[in-house]
Structure 1
Amino acid sequence: MTEEATTVRSIFFDSPADAVSALATAVRSGAAGDGVVDALGRMPDAGKKAVLSEVGSAAAGILELGMQDIFGQAWGKYTALRQAAVATAADPGSEQIVELASHTLSFDHQPGVDVHIGDLPPLPITLHIQLTILVQGLVAVVRGGRLLLVRTGSCEATGTLTIAGRQVAERQLAVEFPLSLSFRDGIPLAEPSDR
């Protein structure tokens, strides 16, 4: 799988339809689903199923977060990149090349979906995304406190996905990068005031 096609959803599911189906099923069969079904009261079963499917679709949409976003958040915590960013922010026009031979990124995210039914209080349904990404053979270019470019490498992502406290997916996946991955405006890792 290439980075350009890689989203959180594509790490766990082969297609958007698979994601919607799995998440809708998890919501239907868990405590969150019971809460939604109870709130729907006497609505016909077909209506209840439609609402739960919409919850699954909304949850699947949250999973479209791209790998650049994940790396941007994770690399901001990586010491060697942060040091290069602080140095280049303090010396405008300078550039540092940081070799990231092998390191591990962790990503932990808990977005949620609120289900609104009539005048009832919203019912929150939480997703929990945990990823561990082993990155090998990357070279990063840092200028002006920003990560601008990452040159060729590979990574392996391992993750678990839960919704409303129920594990929906667990997967390991190799991600192949293009020869270089550039970040349009750069990922800010430091400002001149960070000296």
Structure 2
Amino acid sequence: MTRYFKSPLFLLFLFLFAAQWSGCSDDKVRDAAKEQALEATKKSEPEVGAAKNNIFPVEGSIEMLTEGKEVSKGEEVCIPIRAKGFKEIVSMQYTLQWDPAVLKFKSLRNFGLPGLSNQNFGTHITDKGKLTHAWFDINVKGITRPDDKPLYEVCFEAIGAPGSKTTIQFVEDPTIIEIANINSAFLELKQVPGMVKIK
């Protein structure tokens, strides 16, 4: 079944693409657009009936993986976020979710994409077990990464009781899943969620 999207991040991509081809080099305009789009993405909520009203089709797929680990209570654990098929990607957004009774968000590190930093993540609902994310290639040329190379790492404190566990997975609430390539095509996210166990 074909799915359709129309998000602030993709509209920003269209703006940047048009600006590039029209010779726009105003960094202030680009930075302002980036800030507005990221803020809108962090606050976005899925709309009822959105799949019927949005206009951009999904073509192809990308595999996203979170690593499983076993840790002791009180330890810090950092989970690499990896991808397979990350080819000529220009924009990416989603929500990362886990059980907040098992893991407490601490920090982000080891960024592996151009322009990727803490500013690309919304940490305002990590106490509920959700981390929102939005990134795009400011040069609109498309970024390619080797399969399984970490895009970034998310670090947690293990707070659950021994024997407790949680998956770390990609979800669409509140920030919907959208990944687009240089051809303006959206890719379906096929995930391999990792499991963190408290020993």
Structure 1 length-normalised TM? 0.28
Select the structure with the greater relative contact order (CA < 8 A; seq sep ≥ 6): 2
Structure 2 length-normalised TM? 0.27
| Greater helix proportion | 1
